Amino acid sequence: MDTVEKIVEDFASDIAVSPFSSGTSLREMIRAIRACKTAAEERAVVRRECAAIRTAISENEPELRHRNMAKLMFIHMLGYPTHFAQMECLKLIAAAGFPEKRVGYLGLMLLLDERQEVLMLVTNSLKQDLNHTNQFIVGLALCALGNICSAEMARDLSPEVERLMRSREVNTKKKAALCSIRIVRKVPDLAENFMGLAASLLKEKHHGVLISAIQLCTELCKASKDSLEYLRKNCIEGLARILRDVSNRSYAPEYDVSGIVDPFLHIRVLKLLRILGQGDADCSEYMNDILAQVATKTESNKNAGNAILYECVQTIMGIEATSGLRVLAINILGRFLSNRDNNIRYVALNMLMRAITVDALAVQRHRTTILECVKDADASIRKRALELVYLLVNDTNVKPLTKELIDYLNIADPDFIGDLTVNICSIVEKFSQEKLWYLDQMFNVLSLAGNHVKDDICHALIVVLSNTSELQGYSVRSLYKALQEYGKQGSLVRVAVWCIGEYGEMLVNNVGMLDGEEPIKVTESDAVDAVEVALNRYSADMTTGAMCLVALLKLSSRFPLTSERIKQIVAQNKGNVVLELQQRSIEFTSIIQRHQSIRSSLLERMPVLDEASYLVKRATATQSTISADKIAPTVTPGSLKLPNGVAKPTSAPLADLLDFSSDGAPASTVASTTTPNDFLQDLLGIGGVSSSTTGVTSTASTDILMDLLSIGSSPSQNGTPVTDFRHPGQESKPVPGVPEAVDLLGSLSPAESKPTPVVPKDMDLLDGLSSNTSISGHENTTHPSITAFQSATLKITFDFKMKLGNPRETTIHATFTNLTSSTFTDFIFQAAVPKFIQLRLDPASGNTVPANGSGSVTQGLNITNNQQGQKPLAMRIRMSYKVNGEDRLEQGQVSNFPSGL
């Protein structure tokens, strides 16, 4: 744009003194516009000038045409409409003089584009000017054609451009080569017409022609494979010669940039060599010597030299280079990392991230320099270096790298701690070689950056602690010491409080001492103090506060001497503004006061958490989150877009799972297909199964830190509020069917097996329970089992249980049996129901179904029929699995449900 404005102003100086000029000159108009103080004044000046130009156009004044066009171009650059003067451009192009043509072509390129229909009228003028005897007029036509050429114009005028590429004039050759780039982009079929011409231009000596020819060769390689193969055979030697001559040439003032001879030509040749050598061993071998020469001889103390070196490194990494040449390229990037310029270091880090997939060992040699970049003052360099360090970690260097990163947490910028913490935790989880090292590193991270550690990482740590019985004593002591020093780190407090509640006696008695570990003296009162301090500090945080209350409740059983003090601490939260903490305080106080007989069994240590199941659930939840962020593809009949991008064959169309009206639908269909993994999110985009997604997500993301003492569902989940809100002094009125003043922890006789319809007032649900009494839920009624689906390969059986308290809700236990002699792997069961039914699928017991019925896979389904008694249950099912690596799919409809469901 600056160049166009300069040309316009230069032309203004020419016509300002023209004897044919009248009215306002271009220079005066520009001065008037720039003198405007408001946008309204500017619009008034532009409107006045446009009106004068329209008048001149209507009066057909040829002597003012070129000056008016110059004005219009300036007005167009300001953003005002100038479409009314398009034909004036064509008239100026058709003029005989060079000044008029110059302004006409300039206006054509500036005011019009290839989408304008009026452009068809200029094709004949362009053809005439391309054959003009004046090389400058030819240059104007080539320049215009290279900027606004359409596909039709390219086909009409490509013979003229080919002819001009053979011209003796250097400028004409250069412009014709650049114009042919536009032609090849618009019509790739014409690429074969320019292959030979492009190869011949590489023999020219003029640098401008060489750069234009190399750009044309690059475009030809992208346009067609035939052109790529032709240039590989005919241009490799010429390009190597050009690069060698430019590299060895002494000082040339015409092309010198900071002591480097024509770095632009260097870079263009290297880019073309990268395209030609990619995937071709013979071409790459021919380039190795010249690339090594450029990499070693180019100076790196100037930006121009660094640009050439960077392009040379990209070329080496892009072709089939030798290992020694790749090491040389990575060493160049290592030198870049020591440069003061942030831009050079940033591009070096970017290139190293790509190079690590080619030669990871060579990148490892620069690990120390990369770690220094993690501590850089520039945020973008820190982030990129951290990503590179994550890629560098392996089993051999994980310990020193992790130590360096954790040490940096002490001095890291607050805005950078979050990203650093996430990467450290990922590294520790991925490369942990032993449980003790894993725990030590996680404890260090929690101590230094606990406020930035996510909940799922804390959950994973707790699962590991639960499964590592030999390290539980060491862990609780380490966390207790960290809690004393870093009590403001939220995640540390939650994990430490959980451990103290579970393993408090190990902390007090120094159980499980490791070799070299120093014993610490902690009394029962000290352990309670630590939890009390955490509770007071995080009284407004529901998660942390609830965990503290649970820990205190458990300590009341482990430390009987502190039971009275713990009861007072817990009772202080009866008036907490957080309803969850208030409810827990009331219930826990009741347990401590009134239920001594069952407290020890009720508050015993948590069972060992299934680490494998948790990892599967965590991975499933992560995958569900990723899938939910993606836009669901449009499903067309007979073609379903699967997650890996493969379209399902149209020979086996998928029936609509909710099309219950199709009586003629086959009971089962077996087809070879790729099994999708995310059909639980939305089976064929039908909204009626959204509840299934909700159920699975909630199961996968169960928060084990939120409620460690959950005996049943909360009142709000059961659908009946139990809190009696009324004004002081107002008499409460009994509600039919709802017990009055029921204590959630009230008594329940051990002999009772069925819930009574009327609950006595002030009943204590836990009263009279012995320490070995189990707490059970509502009793269920059963229905006869049915065979929901059976084919030659698979049998599915449904067992039913219906809750007495909610007749609409039914639990289905599905059993899958393999009837063939081949094992089914990657087994996935999916189901869809009408919109009036809510469905939730529980995780299956496995994904491998043994052969010959020697075993089975089970899965739970929870069904809620909102129109129970009016409409029966109905379900479409789909089973996908693999047999000897081959994908199989079966589907059918279940309609033989027992009556009353």
Average pLDDT of span 232-238: 89
DSSP codes of every residue in 731-787: PP---TTS-TT-BTTB---TT--S--SSPPTT-BBTTT--TT-------EEEEEEEE
CA trace torsion 573, 575, 578, 580 (10° rounding): 70
Rounded Cα distance, 162 and 166, in Å: 7
Q: Assess whether pLDDT exceeds 80 at residue 738.
A: no
Report the alpha-carbon distance of residue 628 to residue 620 in Å, rounded. 12
Could you tell me which residues come within 8 angstroms of residue 786 by beta carbon, excluding any fewer than 6 positions away?
A: 797, 798, 896, 897, 898
pTM equals 0.60
Across the chain, what does the average pLDDT equal? 78
Last residue of a domain, one of 617, 636, 667: 617
Which of 347-351, 508-512, 683-687 is most confident? 347-351
In a domain, 110, yes or no: no
| Alpha-carbon span 850 to 847, nearest angstrom | 10
Of 173-177, 481-485, 718-722, 883-887, the one with minimum mean pLDDT is 718-722
Please determine, for residue 690, whether its predicted confidence score (pLDDT) is greater than 80: no
- The answer to the question of residue 710 being in a domain is no
**Mean pLDDT computed over 92-102:** 84
**CATH number of the domain enclosing 817:** 2.60.40.1230
Q: How far apart are CA 841 and CA 859, in angstroms?
A: 8
More confident of the two residues 252 and 658:
252
Whether pLDDT at 654 is above 70: no
Does residue 526 lie within any of the structural domains?
A: yes
Asked whether residue 159 is domain-assigned, the answer is: no
pLDDT of 723 above 70: no
Instruction: Report which of 95, 25, 20, 83 is spatially closest to residue 54, judged by C-alpha positions.
Output: 83
Is there a domain that residue 145 lies in? no
Cα separations in angstroms, 624 against 619, 635, 696: 9, 20, 9
Structural domain span for residue 609: 435-617
pLDDT tens digits for range 386-422: 999 999 898 888 999 999 999 888 888 888 888 999 9
Higher pLDDT, 868 or 826: 826
Residue 772's pLDDT is what?
43
Read off the pLDDT of residues 145-166 as tens digits, 9 standing for 90 and up.
Answer: 998 888 888 899 999 999 999 9
Q: How many domains does the chain have?
A: 2
Structure confidence by residue, pLDDT tens digits, 751-796: 344 444 444 444 455 554 444 444 444 445 567 888 889 888 999 9
The reported pLDDT for the residue numbered 576 is 84
In the beta sheet, which residues pair with residue 829? 879
Q: Confidence band (pLDDT; 50, 70, 90) for 3?
A: low
In a domain, 250, yes or no: no
Can you read off the two tokens belonging to residue 620? 């499933």
Dump pLDDT digits (tens) for 294-341.
999 888 888 899 999 999 999 999 998 888 999 999 999 999 998 888
Q: Which of 572, 592, 617 corresponds to the end of one domain?
A: 617
Per-residue pLDDT, 659: 43
Q: Which of 890, 858, 892, 893 is nearest to 872 (CA)?
A: 893
DSSP run (H or E) holding 185: helix 170-186
Alpha helices (H) along 323-413: 323-337, 342-355, 360-364, 367-374, 379-392, 398-408
Return the structure tokens found at 312: 């040379």
- For the cut 80, the answer to whether the pLDDT of residue 25 exceeds it is yes
Q: Which of 62, 72, 156 is nearest to 108 (CA)?
A: 72
pLDDT reported for residue 625: 54
Which pLDDT score is estimated for 474? 92
Greater confidence (719 vs 307) lies with 307
Q: Residue 722 — very low, low, confident or very high, per pLDDT cuts 50/70/90?
A: very low
Domain boundary among 556, 582, 617: 617
In a domain, 700, yes or no: no
* 841: β partners: 861
pLDDT higher than 80, residue 245: yes
DSSP 641: B
- Contact between 822 and 883 under an 8 Å Cβ cutoff? The reply is yes
Mean pLDDT of 862-866: 86
Mean pLDDT of 631-657: 37
pLDDT tens column, 788-806: 898 889 999 998 887 766 7
Residue 795 lies in a domain: yes
Give the confidence band of 843 by pLDDT, cuts at 50, 70, 90. confident
